[in-house]
Structure formats: C-alpha cells, structure tokens
Amino acid sequence: MNRLQAKDLSLTTAMIPLGSCTMKLNATAEMIPVSWPEFAQIHPFAPLEQTQGYQTLFQQLEQMLSEITGFAGISLQPNAGSQGEYTGLLVIRQYHEQRGEGHRNICLIPESAHGTNPASAVMAGMKVVPVVCDEDGNIDVDDLKAKAEKHQDSLAALMVTYPSTHGVFEEAIEEICAIAHQHGGQVYMDGANMNAQVGLCRPADFGADVCHLNLHKTFCIPHGGGGPGVGPIGVMPHLKAFLPGHSVVDLKETYSESDLQNPKSKIQNPRIGAIASAPWGSSSILPISWMYIALMGAAGLTRATGVAILNANYIAKRLENDYPILYKGKNGLVAHECILDLRQFKKTAGIEVDDIAKRLIDYGFHPPTVSWPVAGTVMVEPTESESKQELDRFCDAMIAIRAEIREIEQGQADRQNNLLKNAPHTAEILISDEWDRPYSRQRAAYPTSWTRENKFWAATGRIDNAYGDRNLICACLPMEAYAE
C-alpha cells in the first residue's frame, strides 16, 4: 500500500486542477471526526435510539444544505452525484405519476451535459431529447423552446447544469427553467458546479425543482481514486413527499399530510423506494462536510466562492495570450473553471492534447481534465484552495510548454522526437547509459527551477491509452494455478 501511495501525486505536492472534480485541500480538523468510533463503528441499521448523535448530524447538515440551496427537503441517501441525478429523476417521475400524468417521459438535456445526465435519465425510464448549444456554449433558447413545445404532452424534465459545464454563468437560466415549467416539465439542476454559487445564489431561487450536490466536490470530502462520495438531493416543497424511503429503517416523516392531498393520487406511500442500501447513504463521511460548513461559516463560504471564481479568471487571463479560452461570458469572464483550447497545435506542430497533459507531469502537475466537455481541450478548475504562488507555478508551466511547442512550430525541434511527444520522462529513462534524444536530460527532467527542489518522478512513461482501453487484462491467477 505504501509503495502504491508513493507513486501517487497528492495535493501535498501540487494542485490537481481538474474540471468540477478538483479536489480541495482538506483541513485535518475536518477529517478527524471520521476516525472517532462513535461515527466509524456504527452499523447502518442500528436502532435509531442508539444513533441519536448521527440523527443530530443529519438534521443539522440537511438544514445547512437547505439554507445554501434554498430547497425545502434534502435526502442524504444518494452515494454520488450520478446517483443523485437518478434519485431526483425518480422523484420527478413519481410526482407526475401522482398527478395522473405518469405518461410524461421525455427528458430534455443540452449537448454540453455531463455524460451521467443522459445515463441517469435512461436508467430512470425516460427518453433523452438533446438540446443544441450555440457557438458560445450556451443553451440555444430557441431550440429549447421548439423542443419543449413539440414534446409538451409528454415532457417530464429538463436537466441543466449551472454554471454550465463550459464554465460560464448562463444568463438565460431563469428563462430556461421557465420554458420547462410552461410545458409541464420539472427542472433538474446538476449542482456539480455549486462551488461557483455557494453564498452568492441559490438554485431554488431561479427555477430548479430538484438539484444534487456533490459533497465530495464542493463540500470537501476527499475522493481520490473515485470515491467515496455523497450526492444528496434538495427538492422544492411539492416534491418533498417523494424523497427516498427505506424498508428497514423508518426515516423520519419529513412531509405533512397536506402535501399528499391529490384526489387523482392512487399511491398509498408516495416515497420512492431506497436507492442505496443504507438509509443515509455514506453517512460515516458526512462529518467532513458538516465540519467544513461549520468552520467556514456563512461569510467564509461566500468568500471561498468569490476566491474560486477569481482564481479561475486569474488563470484564464494569464494564459489567454498563449492558449485561447474557449468560452467566456458577456464581460469576457469565466465562472469557476476555464477551458483552454489546444486544437490548433495539431496543425502547427503535430502536438495533441495528450502530449501537453503528459508534459505537465514532467513539470510536477497532475494534468487537468482532458478532452472534456470538448475534444482537444483541457478544463482547469483551481478552486479557492490554491495560493497565488501555486496558480503562478501552474501558469508558468503552461507558458513554458507553449514555448516548447513554438520550437517545434519553428523547426528547431523535431516533430516526432521532442520533449512533449516523449513525456513523461521517468528516472529510469533519464539515468540510462543510452541517451540519443535531440534534447538534453536536464531540459527533460528539470524544466523549471521549482522542479529541481521538488521533483515528482512519474512511475511510468507514455502508455498507449487506446490500447489499454480496448484490451482489458485480468491480473488474477487462472484456475490452473490453483491446481497444484
């Protein structure tokens, strides 16, 4: 385990500037309670009278999240953002069902959406109808209107991400939500980008009916290696009655009888079934988000959002002369993340987005999100966690890499055999007795003075990504090995 850990680049070495999935720094104080046996050693189905501390934690955290989002009801059950989407759409389906409109099954989703959106819609039994985006990355409102109108008899939901996955605050967001409502649909907001909203605006105030939060993004739960996550959903008052239930543990009744008085309703128990095995999902990690929110306070959270947006705009401004920023809002600003367009280098230097991502490893950085949401680009979200020194270090690396690309463009470096195509450079390659590359070992390994002091050595050189994706191998021994 320790050897594996030593091969990993962690936040203690450099920022990990992904898209919405950027991991924030975690204060030790936020993490400590997770190790307390009072939180760590409780069985999820323990009798409620033995888990009163947990009940208080759930209620307080739900209250905090309610205040942050404006929603009337919260379910902590979903274990990930994607599961929150699935849960939220089932809640919407149940709402239509309860009103005698169970036939509504069309889900409008903009082209820019995260892949989990259409996947969740299909799993919830809906039919996906894509909505076009314009060249600035915004939802094409005319196309949305046309599609909502066309499907108005069977429209179930619109799924929308705000700020958008293009890193821009969509100005028409209120109109977009209103169009869905006018045609009988509910609005599902993907809240993965909540880090750009906390303290500034609330999804419930501008038209969302349901929204998931990613506690492992915005609210500091560490998620290296893909988990664990918590993707609670918040809902407007008219949907509270349908939040997930549980067959073993009787969840506190969080709705009043008046919510349910609809003569058309044939449903006895309106709650949807459990969507996770445990009644409050990954409850043992909830203390992290509780601690984060409590330690930051309202003013601190609002300031964090401001700094996160400022940091993203700082990077966008420092890099815009070397790398075009793909999408910006009306005033030339981005939200909490920015997309750097690298597509032109394929023509000018034969350099692709992977080459730049791999070269960043030599500079000591975890590469940003590659080719999402637009192929041939990188998506950078620094969050409020990083200092100006760290942002500058990242920008300096990107600018230095641009200079290396220029050498190829001007014919000073070979188009195939160069610093970028051969990146990342491992210690084994650099220390080998054979060295026949047209550049020095020093430039390969120590491109900046910072790397001399704090070098992160990649454990492996370039791999063939496509080959790896298509040729799965099993590392477990075959049955014959047990025969002896």
Residues interacting with ligand PLP, by CB under 6 A?
20-21, 80-82, 114, 116, 161, 165, 190, 192, 214, 229, 231
Instruction: Record the tokens describing residue 247, joined without a space.
Output: 């067959």
Q: In terms of CB distance, is 117 or 418 closer to ligand PLP?
A: 117
Report phi then psi at 383, rounded to 5: 60, 175
Q: In terms of CB distance, is 98 or 195 closer to ligand PLP?
A: 195
Q: In terms of CB distance, is 109 or 356 closer to ligand PLP?
A: 109
Provide, rounded to whole angstroms, the least separation between the CB of residue 474 and ligand PLP: 26
Q: Which of 294, 275, 276 is nearest to 286 (CA)?
A: 294
Which residue type is seen at 256? S
Provide, rounded to whole angstroms, the least separation between the CB of residue 454 and ligand PLP: 30
Provide, rounded to whole angstroms, the least separation between the CB of residue 116 and ligand PLP: 5
Provide, rounded to whole angstroms, the least separation between the CB of residue 406 and ligand PLP: 33
Please give the Cα distance from 477 to 222 (Å, whole number): 33
422 to each of 73, 186, 322, 365, how far by Cα in Å?
53, 50, 22, 16
Q: In terms of CB distance, is 225 or 263 closer to ligand PLP?
A: 225
Q: In terms of CB distance, is 116 or 422 closer to ligand PLP?
A: 116
Residue pointed to by tokens 């809640």:
91
Provide, rounded to whole angstroms, the least separation between the CB of residue 201 and ligand PLP: 17
Q: In terms of CB distance, is 51 or 79 closer to ligand PLP?
A: 79
Q: In terms of CB distance, is 189 or 401 closer to ligand PLP?
A: 189
Q: In terms of CB distance, is 21 or 42 closer to ligand PLP?
A: 21
Provide, rounded to whole angstroms, the least separation between the CB of residue 115 and ligand PLP: 8
Provide, rounded to whole angstroms, the least separation between the CB of residue 108 and ligand PLP: 16
Provide, rounded to whole angstroms, the least separation between the CB of residue 160 and ligand PLP: 10
How many Cα atoms occupy the beta-carbon half-sphere of 170 within 13 Å? 26
Provide, rounded to whole angstroms, the least separation between the CB of residue 202 and ligand PLP: 18
Pair 230, 282: CB distance under 8 Å: yes
Which residue type is seen at 92? I
- Residue sitting closest to ligand PLP (CB): 81
Pair 75, 125: CB distance under 8 Å: no
Please give the Cα distance from 262 to 99 (Å, whole number): 7
Please give the Cα distance from 148 to 110 (Å, whole number): 12
Query: Residue 100: left (phi > 0), alpha (psi -120 to 50), or beta?
Result: left
Which residue type is seen at 458? A
Please give the Cα distance from 45 to 248 (Å, whole number): 7
Q: In terms of CB distance, is 241 or 339 closer to ligand PLP?
A: 339
DSSP secondary structure letters along 122-148: HHTT-EEEEE-B-TTS-B-HHHHHHHH
Instruction: Record the tokens describing residue 71, joined without a space.
Output: 């929603």
